[in-house]
């Protein structure tokens, strides 16, 4: 049995100092971070759209899944086996691990590159992560939600599976990931939506066309590109 969230709460490596307010305040100045959550079903195109936003808007891109896979492969990681089994089953890794990985990566990027704008891709996928992150790290500015049909997503994932080498881009894992998305991740989107903090984008068309819609959302939100397009 892999450890549960409860076991991890007492884990020495995950004992971040108790804070009575989030680590950062929202913004792009000293001690601040501007975070946009990027959500959407598996294969909705989050990573592809994030790459364009990094190029044009100067965001740093943090994919929660990539950070987890990196930690899984890090020699000596005691979370490696646990992460592997959760990912293969399409389940959500206990939030303590993922939030700590995100917080560490953000701190490093601010320190090393002086970048304060972050796209957090594929996170939060479960309500406890959303609450935990906004309480402990920073409140997000809004959530960019990519919407399309399961059929489109499935096709993209199987295509990606031909070359991705990802342990979860196969029929069996894809089914489980869709299920987790509908049952566990959609409630996060719905909660943020009730707070008026979601921008929905139709992700059905080509990457270029979808990016056209994304740019409109950025304009609406008052986020400017950093270089002429």
* CB environment 214-225: b (16+ within 10 A), e (fewer): bbeebeeeebee
Q: Counting contacts by CB under 6 A, is residue 177 touching ligand UDP?
A: yes
Q: Counting contacts by CB under 6 A, is residue 184 touching ligand UDP?
A: no
**Minimum distance between the CB of residue 100 and ligand UDP, rounded to whole angstroms?**
12
Q: Determine if residue 48 is labeled as part of a ligand binding site.
A: yes
Q: Which is nearer to ligand UDP, 89 or 225 (CB)?
A: 89
Tell me the Cα Rg of the chain.
17
The binding track of 96-135 with respect to ligand UDP, each residue x by CB under 6 A or -, is --x-----------------------xx-x---x------
Q: DSSP character for 225? A: P
Q: DSSP character for 144? A: E
Q: Determine if residue 227 is labeled as part of a ligand binding site.
A: no
Residue 118: alpha-carbon gap to chain centroid: 10
Cβ burial, residue 83 (10 Å; 0-12/13-18/19+):
buried
Q: Determine if residue 160 is labeled as part of a ligand binding site.
A: yes
Q: Counting contacts by CB under 5 A, is residue 47 touching Mg ion?
A: yes
> Euclidean distance between the first and final Cα of the chain, in Å?
51
Positions touching ligand UDP (CB under 6 A) are 42-43, 46-47, 63-65, 68, 86-87, 90-93, 98, 122-123, 125, 129, 168, 177
């Amino acid at each position: 049995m892999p450890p549960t969230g409860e076991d991890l709460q007492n884990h020495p490596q995950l004992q971040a100092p108790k804070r009575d307010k989030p680590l950062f305040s929202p913004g792009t100045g000293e001690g601040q971070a501007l975070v946009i959550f990027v959500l959407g079903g598996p294969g909705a195109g989050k990573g592809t759209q994030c790459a364009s936003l990094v190029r044009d808007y100067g965001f740093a891109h943090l994919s929660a899944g990539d950070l987890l896979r990196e930690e899984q492969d890090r020699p000596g990681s005691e979370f490696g086996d646990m992460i592997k089994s959760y990912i293969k089953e399409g389940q959500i890794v206990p939030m303590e691990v993922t939030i700590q990985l995100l917080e560490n990566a953000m701190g490093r990027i601010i320190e090393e590159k002086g970048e304060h704008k972050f796209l957090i891709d594929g996170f939060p996928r479960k309500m406890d992560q959303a609450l935990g992150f906004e309480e402990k790290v920073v409140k997000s500015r809004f959530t960019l939600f990519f919407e399309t049909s399961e059929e489109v997503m499935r096709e993209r994932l199987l295509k990606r599976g031909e070359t991705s080498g990802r342990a979860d881009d196969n029929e069996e894992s894809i089914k489980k990931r869709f299920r987790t998305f509908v049952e566990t991740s959609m409630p996060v989107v719905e909660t943020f939506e009730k707070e008026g903090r979601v921008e929905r984008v139709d992700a059905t068309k080509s990457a270029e066309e979808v990016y056209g819609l994304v740019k409109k959302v950025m304009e609406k939100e008052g986020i400017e590109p950093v270089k002429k397009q």
